[in-house]
Amino acid sequence: MAPVFLRKSADPLCGHRLLHSTDVELARASVAKQYCDHDLIPGPFRDTFDACHNHAEGQSLSLNYMRYGCDVTINPGELTDFYLVQIPLVGTAKVRNGRKTVEATQRTGTVLNPTRDTHMIWYGGCEKLLLQIDATALHQTAERLLGQSLSHPIVFDPEVRLESPALKNWERKFQAAVAVADQKGAFGDIQHKHQALFEEDLIAGFLMAQPSTIHHILTQAQPSVSSPQISRARAYILENLTEPITVAQIAAAAGCSIRSLQLSFQQSFGCTPIGFVQRQRLNHAHMLAQSHPKDTLVSGIAYEAGFFHLGRFSIAYRKEFGCSPRETLAQNRFS
């Protein structure tokens, strides 16, 4: 069923039109200016080529509506500095990002990771809403959500299953943002006083809803108690994750006794400080195993995550995630 805001004669974001042309090279150059350089190859019925691109600019993301009229093949390679979430409104497309190919429909969207090669075919009649997110802004939002720095780019599952409850809720927010932009309430030339909050909510919501190399960390239970000592201890652990860490060092960084630290961690996280260290190291290892090539050595992941005993690492990893590190690498889900 089409979103309510589409039930009107005008295209979404029609007040923010950048392009409407039957000239293939003009369309390619215009779209490249907003996204990145790419090949644009019409199919056999190129006489029906009718490109339209509406674009409402924000601070760290943009809202877009696009169609091409006929079948087109699009080869942008790696996007480099932005993520692109694509939600088909009508029609279908075939999208490959990295090793995964997705058949995009009204209930299955896609997200293009900037560090993965992309190839797309938009079939005739396909129309999409697109959310372009600056890669640095998304990375910083993720770090704020996690309360820790991330040393590797975030990689999403390219398939966006819009029937899932979390993504249904997020899609409603996206549609609401498009409706606000249509009404000139935000985006484009009108930047609302809460523009940054609108955008952060869209980015954070997508991070929480869409499977990625950090989704397992984002969805873990949060601490029930917060205190300056716990915050300092947690920060020290995350900053020194790959180094040997003792409880005494954590307590010294937190400015409390070892016993107080142990009780606080048990109450806040349900584990000892060292148990928390291992959990964070396993989270980091899982992120690495999901995003690295499948021929990566398990020992390399273990050492990078702060483990120095490969056998114990593999046992703990399987207990936490239900599979071995090698099996995670072999699945190659986000590569």
- Whether 246 has a pLDDT exceeding 90, the answer reads no
Average pLDDT on 190-218 reads 89
Nearest residue to 160 (alpha-carbon basis) of 89, 211, 126, 207: 211
**Which residues are within 8 A (CB) of 269 and not within 5 positions of it... i.e. 6 or more apart?**
223, 275, 276, 279
- Quick: pLDDT tens for 100-130: 999 999 999 999 999 999 999 999 999 999 9
Would you place residue 7 in the very low, low, confident or very high pLDDT band (cuts 50, 70, 90)? very low
Q: What are phi and psi of 297, to 5 degrees?
A: -75, 135
What is the residue extent of each domain of the chain? 9-217, 228-331
Would you place residue 222 in the very low, low, confident or very high pLDDT band (cuts 50, 70, 90)? low
Q: Are strands 72-77 and 39-42 parallel, antiparallel or unpaired?
A: antiparallel
Q: Could you tell me the pTM of the whole model? A: 0.78
Considering the segment(s) 9-217 as one domain, its CATH architecture is Sandwich (2.60)
Average pLDDT on 9-21 reads 91
User: What is residue 220's predicted lDDT score, i.e. its pLDDT?
Assistant: 78
CATH entry, 228-331, from 3.30.420.40, 3.40.309.10, 1.10.10.60, 1.10.10.10? 1.10.10.60
Sheet with 159-161, strands from edge to edge, namely 17-21, 51-57, 61-67, 127-134, 82-90, 108-112, 159-161
The overall longest dimension of the chain from CA atoms, in Å, is: 76
- Quick: pLDDT tens for 297-323: 998 899 888 888 888 899 999 999 999
User: What is residue 279's predicted lDDT score, i.e. its pLDDT?
Assistant: 93
- Quick: pLDDT tens for 154-200: 999 999 999 999 999 999 999 999 999 998 888 988 777 778 888 99
Sign (positive/negative) of CA torsion 208, 214, 216, 217? negative
User: What is residue 14's predicted lDDT score, i.e. its pLDDT?
Assistant: 95
Nearest residue to 23 (alpha-carbon basis) of 55, 46, 7, 57: 46
- Contact between residue 40 and residue 27 where contact means Cβ atoms under 8 Å apart: yes
- What integer best gives the mean pLDDT of the chain? 90
- b/e sequence 34-72, b meaning 16+ C-beta within 10 Å: bbbebebebbeeeeebebbbbbbbbebbbbbbbbbbbbb
CA distance 47 to 49: 6
Sign (positive/negative) of CA torsion 12, 18, 24, 30? negative
- Whether 65 has a pLDDT exceeding 80, the answer reads yes
